[in-house]
Amino acid sequence: MNPRDRLLKAFDFEEVYPTPYTIWYDHETLERLNAHYGGPSWREGIHDHIMRLTVDWEPEVSVGEGLYRDVFGTLWQQGDPKHIVEPALTKPSLDGFKMPKLAPHLLAAQPTADEKHTILPMLGFEEAHKRLVNERERVFTVVGYGRGIFQCAWMMRGYENYFVDLLDNPVFCHELMEQMTERHLELLDELLKLPCDGIIFSDDYGDQRGVIIGPPLWREFVKPYLKKLYERVHQAGKMTFQHTCGSVFDIIPDLIEIGLDVLQSLQPEAMPVYEIKKQYGRDLRLWGGLGTQQLLPQGTPEEIRAEIRRLRRELGKGGGYCFTSSKPIMKDVPVENAVAFIEETVQAME
């Protein structure tokens, strides 16, 4: 079986051995691994079972040194991390504001990936189409488009302002989410023309403690709109993927109810990943699970290898699982730990 065939079996809840996998890393980690192995040829042994592409739709207009405006009009200060200087909506009102159309930007953007953008390279629509056509028979393909409706909404008002609005101005929040969802549906209509197997939505609903705004507010202000996006993907015959950091354990039944097929990230520092498999492993496919906050940067190579074997054994039981780290291998991970992760993962396939 090639990686695509293996992944399709796993996602059809057939137990596949060895368990399918993906490996992702940032540019600095790539350079350190190239130095360790004496060149880039080590990458030839990695055969990811999912190819994830991110299609660009977010034009940024520079307005001064280190400052730019996003497509909605929010002013940002560049940096690591970047931060909002002035939100597009300074008041909880859409009066006089025209929600910009997003799909034309998707079709106009033409960036291409390079070695410096190993993590989710931003591609133009045509480049994404070309890559998908070339790879779709070999590997399972997933297309994303970056920020989701929840993140876009709070970015227009500012983080704290938006969370206050959820309680003090619920009518405005629903109006904002309705208009945002319409624009994202237009984006989806274009993305769904691509020859991919699934669409991955990226929206961080959780932090280390649980759902950021709490399950009741999430169910009122996010769930009904997210359901519309999932339905549009299923109407096109494709699978729904959801990336979310932090803990969303309390809303997993809701995500399943509205049509989520695959939950991605699975941060073990925030969520009980083995319990998720136990409770929901016949209704929801999982992708992730290896800790990048504690285990990869702070553990030993032996501990990393042992946890990889456990994840593939227990989460892979009965199918419905693709192994990977919850986030990319980043610069805080010692090279010997990165090597243990990669070699334990790849050697299981040999």
Distance CA 262, CA 311 (A): 17
pLDDT band at 81 (very low <50, low <70, confident <90, very high): confident
Average the pLDDT over 205-217 and give the result.
Answer: 97
pLDDT in tens, 274-313: 999 999 999 999 999 999 999 999 999 999 999 999 999 9
| 236/289 Cα distance (integer angstroms) | 29
pLDDT of residue 291: 97
Kindly report, residue by residue over 23-33, the tens digit of the pLDDT: 999 999 999 99
pLDDT (0 to 100) of residue 176: 98
Cα 227 from Cα 283, distance rounded (Å) = 17
Supply φ then ψ for residue 134, to 5 degrees.
-70, -30
Instruction: Please tell me the distance from the alpha carbon of residue 39 to that of residue 147, in angstroms, as a whole number.
Output: 34
The DSSP result for 259-274, as a single string, is T--EEEE--TTTS-HH
Interatomic CA distance for residues 232 and 259, integer angstroms? 10
Write the class of the CATH domain 3-347: alpha beta
pLDDT of residue 122: 81
User: Would you call the peptide bond into 18 cis, given omega within 30 degrees of 0 as the criterion?
Assistant: yes
Other Cβ atoms less than 10 A from the Cβ of 332: the count is: 13
Whether 112 has a pLDDT exceeding 70, the answer reads no
% the chain with pLDDT above 70: 97
- Please, what is the Cα angle at 339 between 13 and 23, to 5 degrees? 35
- Average pLDDT for 108-128: 72
pLDDT at 119 over 80: no
Q: What is the mean pLDDT of residues 71-94?
A: 95
* pLDDT score for 349: 72
DSSP β-bridge partners for residue 323: 21, 288
Query: For the segment 6-51, what is each residue's pLDDT rounded down to a tens digit?
Result: 999 999 999 999 999 999 999 999 999 999 999 999 999 999 999 9
Q: Name the H helices within 117-222.
A: 125-135, 149-157, 159-168, 170-191, 215-221
Tokens matching residue 319: 């199918």
Q: Beta-carbon neighbour count of residue 149 at 10 Å?
A: 23
pLDDT over 80 at 161, yes or no: yes
pLDDT of residue 118: 55
User: CA torsion sign, 94 to 100 to 101 to 106?
Assistant: negative
- Distance separating alpha carbons of residues 92 and 214, to the nearest angstrom: 21
